[in-house]
Amino acid sequence: MLISEAEKIIKDTYERRDRSRGVPLTFLHFVEEVGELARSLRSKNKDDIGRELADVFAWLLSVSYLLEIDLEAEFVRYYGKGCPKCGSTPCKCPPLEG
Distance CA 27, CA 24 (A): 5
Which residues are at the interface with Zn ion (CB under 5 A)? 83, 85-86, 91, 93
Least distance to Zn ion, CB of residue 57, Å:
23
DSSP helix/strand/coil, 41: helix
Over its C-alpha atoms, the chain yields an Rg (Å, rounded) of 16
Nearer to Zn ion, 34 or 83 (CB): 83
Shortest distance, position 24 Cβ to Zn ion, whole Å: 33
Distances (CA, A) of 57 to 7, 37, 63, 86, 93: 9, 11, 10, 26, 26
In the complex, minimum distance from the CB of residue 87 to Zn ion, in angstroms, rounded to a whole number:
7
Nearest CB to Zn ion, comparing residues 37 and 83:
83
Q: Which is nearer to Zn ion, 2 or 96 (CB)?
A: 96
